[in-house]
């Protein structure tokens, strides 16, 4: 009976067993890097980590919900790329920022809904559907840009990434807002409750007379929409649209979610864990760069991070 947790609100204070390996890893990394490099704990550097983690965080948060609902979204990286290209495309075309943003989010939303609809109504494995969608988005991005970089986007959108408010970079606000919003969605709304239920006991939800399918699709819609939103930052970051910018990011997101203690089964999810997962990867990359560790070692250490974090968990659950 150790593992009893306040399920809404105070998830930031997990009970003993819920402290995932990732939290320990994060702590360890912070410790090591702050010893090895003076700049690490400097405010601008911490800002850096935050800013760099934002995009990944924005797609990992909804990915948490998707995985809780015993699904997976392999298309998110390609979708992020595609939306970014769309944003850049419309900026170059009309130089109308709001329009571009709307289009990007709209495209993300639509593709998310398509994913969800196929998965729920045709009752197909999410992995397959989204893997197919991955290819489709990849192509669409190439087709829209014909493989070129779209850089005629003006300077307004760039501010979304470089600009800051009260001395804090805008992306940080993006991150905070998306976290808070999705936290509320998950822990303080019907939708959130049903996310737990769809993964945990879909029949129970049906018997409770809830329109399960709609909520199930909504999860993927949310995932797509967040990708659209994040794509704004992606485009802003490069101040251009590039057809292969975020390819493969879905894996980073999935890894962050799993490392954060969300499991593929029974709707067992933890949003804050995902946050930790994302930050840990960010800290690791940043720290290794500061120390100037060879890139090949960086590659290996990311793999180690993922495995060790999970091993810590599996040992804890055995102990």
Partner 1 sequence: MKHHRLLGTSVVLLTLTTGQAFADGEKIAVFTKNQTNPYFQAFRLGSDSAAKQMNASTTHYVPTKPDSIPEQLGAIDDVVVKKPTGIVLIPVDYKAINPGVKKINDAGIPVVNATDRAEAGNFVNWVGADDFSTANAAGKALVKALNGQGNVVILEGVRGVVGNTNRVNGFKKAIEEAPGIKLLASQPGNYQRLQGLQVMENLLQTYPKIDGVMAANDAMASGAIEALEGANRKALIVGINGSKEAVEAIKAGKMLASGDAAPFYQGCFATMSLIRSIRNLPVPKEIVFPPMVVEKATLANYDVAPDKQSCPAWSSIVK
Partner 2 sequence: MTLPILELRSISKFFPGIVALDKVSFDVYSGEVHMLLGENGAGKSTLMKVLCGAYQADGGEIYHQGQPVQIHHPGDARNLGIAVIFQEFSLVPYLNIAQNIFLGREYSGSIPGTLDHSRMHQEAKHWLRVLSLDIDTHTLVHTLGVAQQQMVEIAKALSQDAKILVMDEPTAALSDRETTLLFEMIRKLQSEGVAIIYISHRMAEVFSMGDRITVLRDGKQVGSADPKTTTPDELVQMMVGRRVDMAYARNFQSQPGRVALKLSHLCSENGIEDISLEVREGEIVGLAGLVGAGRTEVARATFGVDKVSSGTVEIFGKNRTGEPFQSVDMGLALIPESRKTEGLALIRSVEENIILSGLNKIFPSSWINNRKVQQISEDLIRKLRIATPSGKQSTQLLSGGNQQKIVIGKWLTTDSKIFIFDEPTRGIDVGAKAEIFALIYKLVEDGAAVLMISSELSEIVNVCDKAYVMREGKISGLLEKEALNEENILKLGMTDA
Partner 3 sequence: MTNLLVELKNSSQLKNLFFRILVVVLICIALSFLTEAFFTTNNLLNVLRQASLLFLMASGLTLVFLTAGIDLSVGANVGMSACVAAVVMTTTGSTALGFLSGIGCGLLIGIGNGLLVTLLRLPSFIATYGMLWILHGLTYYFMAGTTINGFEKSFRFIGSGYLYGVPVPIYIMTLFLILGSIFTKYSIYGQQIYAVGANPLAARLSGVPVNRRLMLVYVLSGMTAGLASLVFLARLNSAEGDIGESLTLPAIAAVLIGGTSLFGGIGTMFGTLIGALILTLVLNGMNILTIDGNYQALVTGVIIILSVFLDLFFRRKSGS
Report the C-alpha gap between 208 and 19 in whole angstroms: 33
Selected from 149, 268, 298, 301, the binder of partner 2 by CB under 8 A is 268
Please report, for residues 39, 47, 159, 174, the alpha-carbon distance to residue 44 in angstroms, rounded to integers and kept in the order given: 9, 5, 18, 18
Cα angle, residue 98 at apex, residues 93 and 102 outer, rounded to 5°: 90
Closest CA to 282 of 159, 170, 172: 172
Contacted entry of partner 3, partner 1, partner 2, none for residue 151, CB cut-off 5 to 8 Å set by kind: partner 1
3-class DSSP assignment, residue 164: strand
Rounded CA separation 210/196 (Å): 13
The mark string for 4-43 relative to partner 2 (x by CB under 8 A, - otherwise) is: xxxxxx----------------------------------
Residue 213 in contact with partner 2, rule: CB under 8 A: no
Rounded CA-CA distance 275/290 in Å is 22
Residue 289 C-alpha from the chain's centroid? 22
- Residue from 197, 238, 255, 271 binding partner 2 (CB under 8 A): 197
Q: Which long-range contacts (CB under 8 A, 24 or more apart) does 122-129 make?
A: 126/66, 126/71, 126/72, 126/73, 127/72, 127/74
How crowded is residue 48: how many other Cβ atoms within 10 Å of its Cβ?
17
Q: Residue 44 Cβ, how far from partner 1 at the closest point, in Å?
A: 6
Least CB distance to partner 2 at residue 190 (A) = 5
Give the nearer residue to partner 2 in terms of CB position, either 163 or 266.
Answer: 266
Least Cβ distance, residue 51 to partner 1 (angstroms): 7
Looking at residues 139 to 158 of the shown chain, list those that interact with partner 1 (rule: CB under 8 A): 142, 145-149, 151, 158
User: 193, 201, 244, 263: which one contacts partner 1 (CB under 8 A)?
Assistant: 244
255 binds, options partner 1, partner 2, partner 3, none, Cβ within 5 to 8 A by partner type = partner 3
Q: How far apart are CA 250 and CA 246, in angstroms?
A: 9
> If contact means CB under 5 to 8 A according to the sort of partner, which of partner 1, partner 2, partner 3, none does residue 246 touch?
partner 1
CB of 52 to partner 1, least distance (A): 5
User: Which one, 159 or 204, has the nearer CB to partner 2?
Assistant: 204
């Amino acid at each position: 009976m150790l593992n009893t947790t306040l399920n809404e609100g105070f998830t930031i204070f997990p009970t003993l067993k819920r402290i995932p390996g990732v939290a320990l890893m994060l702590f360890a990394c912070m410790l090591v890097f702050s010893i090895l490099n003076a700049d690490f704990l400097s405010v601008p550097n911490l800002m850096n980590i935050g800013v760099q983690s934002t995009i990944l965080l924005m797609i990992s948060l909804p990915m948490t919900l998707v995985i809780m609902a015993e699904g997976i979204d392999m298309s998110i990286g390609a979708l992020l790329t595609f939306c970014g290209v769309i944003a850049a495309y419309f900026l170059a075309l009309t130089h109308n920022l709001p329009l571009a943003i709307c289009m990007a989010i709209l495209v993300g939303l639509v593709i998310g809904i398509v994913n969800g609809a196929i998965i729920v109504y045709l009752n197909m494995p999410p992995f397959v559907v989204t893997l197919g969608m991955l290819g489709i988005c990849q192509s669409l991005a190439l087709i829209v840009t014909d493989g070129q970089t779209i850089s005629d986007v003006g300077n307004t959108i760039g501010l979304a990434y470089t600009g800051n408010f009260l001395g804090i970079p805008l992306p940080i606000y993006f991150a905070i807002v998306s976290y808070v919003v999705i936290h509320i969605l998950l822990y303080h709304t019907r939708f959130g409750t049903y996310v737990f239920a769809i993964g945990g006991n879909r029949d129970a939800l049906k018997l409770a007379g809830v329109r399960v399918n709609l909520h199930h699709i909504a999860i993927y819609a949310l995932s797509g929409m967040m990708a659209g939103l994040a794509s704004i930052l992606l485009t802003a970051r490069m101040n251009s649209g590039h057809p292969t910018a975020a390819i493969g990011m879905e894996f980073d997101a999935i890894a962050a979610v799993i490392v954060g203690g969300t499991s593929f089964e029974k709707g067992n999810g933890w949003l804050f864990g995902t946050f930790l997962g994302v930050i840990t990867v960010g800290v690791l990359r940043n720290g290794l760069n500061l120390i100037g560790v060879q890139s090949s070692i960086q590659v290996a250490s990311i793999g180690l991070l993922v495995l060790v974090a999970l091993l810590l968990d599996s040992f804890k659950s055995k102990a």
